[in-house]
Amino acid sequence: MSIETTVATRRHRVVVIGSGFGGLFACKHLKNADVDVVLISKTSTHLFQPLLYQVATGILSTGEIAPATRLVLRKHRNTQVILGEVRDIDLVNRTVTSHLLNDDTVTSFDSLIVATGTQQSYFGNDHFSTYAPGMKTIDDALELRARILGSFEEAELAKTQEMRDRFMTFVVVGAGPTGVELAGQIAELADHTLEGTFRNIDPRDARVILLEGADAVLKPMGPKLGGIAQRRLEKMGVEIQLDAMVTDVDARGVTVKDKDGSTRRIEAACKVWSAGVQASELGRMLAERSEGTEVDRAGRVIVEPDLTIKGHPNVFVVGDLMAVPGVPGQAQGAIQGATYAAKQIKAELAGKQTPEQRKPFHYFNKGSMATVSRFSAVCQIGKLEFGGFLAWLIWLVLHLYYLIGYRSRIVTVFQWLVTFLGGRNRGQMAATEQWVFARLALEAMYGNEEDGREVQAELGEKPAASAKQPSDRRAG
């Protein structure tokens, strides 16, 4: 299929790749512009990643944090939404090729905004992913929920103390915001929500271990906030192990190398990986195809001051995929980058400036924050650094503000009231066996040529939006 008409008969077309913060805000800022917008994404939703950990720990359902992009953009009369994984960008002929099932769609563009973000990185040890899923997608969060709850179920039925201990030990790798949030929530789940619900085990005996290769929790946020988060987690019973590098992960646990060079084992059935990111492969493709553009170690595109790639002032790279000094891989970086790109396109179409006259992108740092537990967060706004209940309240309000859609906000507030004020209950504790095994089954199936051929004969080809994703995002 091809989405094309001759340039003379159509409006300026902006193709946006990705439906995360970058992609969605680019579309929002182009809503009333005299352009046609085509948004292409391999997922059908706009995923609010900052609340993924609440899906994983049974507070929110997927619908609240991942509304369908098509519905969000319903009133954008100039915007078409296409589901598909972009596999090729032709900078010379100005086309993007996306893939869905066994169909390729070629879409031509006049301007391009690439916002395909990052995926989990296992630093070259992709086999870790089999036993320690990351926290990047809805699939990850649901798989993790089923793994956490499944571990308690297994512990209840364990025949030996050794097995029980393994099922009752939860290892979170990486003490960045995601690791801190997850460790805190698993501890709360064990201590409050599940307390008194089993007969052979006491969920409060669960060990939650947070492993960090560096020497501090939340290192980028500085020693003060890292210290607050660490103390709060320790008070909740989370064991924090710093300077602890994970060197192997298998079904039964993890191998850890300490600062002094010694190695040791931690037996744990449930592991989570939140230690690193790797940019979408489109970053490398763009760099290779535009002379002189480079990527950094994580594969992020080192963009020009106007967020474009060398020699192509009509191709913007925004969000987590761009590497700009001083801009963190956070929602604000993506939102501001996308807003900037949309403004340049509009100004140039209106004849107000030429690409040469663009002012460089300037990032306005609105601060950063992370929650540790209910009623406790850490917050950095300018030079102000504080933690505790006030930080948690600010976190709450800001996350509600950036959630997309009134319905999501209302339902989320209700779920938070039930969870945070109601004491023990969490509304989303369903989990199925499929959530644990579907990814591994798909990977095994597609890894096995014979089975793969049978499935392809039935389905057409590997579904781009689901089956391709697990192996893809772990390619790091």
The residue written with tokens 């032709």 in the block is 90
SS3 304: coil
Q: Of the candidates 58, 67, 117, 133, which one interacts with ligand FAD according to CB under 6 A?
A: 117
- Kindly tell me which of 256 and 464 has the beta carbon lying closer to ligand FAD: 464
**Cα dihedral 176→328→282→4 (10° resolution):** 130
Minimum CB distance to ligand FAD smaller for 167 or for 188: 188
Residue type at position 402: Y
Catalytic residue among 64, 85, 181, 212: 181
Q: How far apart are CA 77 and CA 79, in angstroms?
A: 6
Draw the binding track, 72-111, toward ligand FAD (x: CB under 6 A; -: no contact). Answer: -------------xx-------------------------
Contact by Cβ (8 Å): 94, 6 = no
Instruction: Calculate the CA 262 to chain-centre distance.
Output: 33
Asked if 330 interacts with ligand FAD (CB under 6 A), we say yes
* 8 Å CB contact between 402 and 48: yes
Rg of the Cα atoms in the chain: 23
Residue 291: both structure tokens together: 């002379």
Site size for ligand FAD, by CB under 6 A? 34
Indicate which single residue of 39, 52, 144, 149 sits in contact with ligand FAD (rule: CB under 6 A).
52
Provide the minimum distance between the beta carbon of 199 and ligand FAD in the complex, in angstroms, as a whole number.
34
Closest to 106 measured CA to CA, from 38, 203, 9: 38
Give the per-residue contact string, 262-281, with ligand FAD (x = CB under 6 A; - = no): ------------------x-
If binding is defined by CB under 6 A, does position 253 make contact with ligand FAD? Answer: no
38: nearest Cα among 118, 110, 116: 110
Is 22 a binding residue for ligand FAD by CB under 6 A? The answer is yes
Compute the distance between CA of residue 299 and CA of residue 315 in angstroms, rounded to an integer. 17
Among 332, 339, 365, 471, which residue interacts with ligand FAD (rule: CB under 6 A)?
332
**Binding region for ligand FAD (CB under 6 A) out of 15-23, 31-39, 57-65, 123-131:** 15-23
Q: 449 catalytic, yes or no?
A: no
Tell me how far, at minimum, the Cβ of 98 lies from ligand FAD, in Å.
Answer: 6
Asked if residues 274 and 135 have their Cβ atoms less than 8 Å apart, the reply is yes
Positions annotated as catalytic residues are 181
Residues that bind ligand FAD (CB under 6 A): 17-23, 40-43, 49-50, 52-53, 85-86, 115-117, 135-136, 177-178, 280, 282, 319-321, 329-332, 334
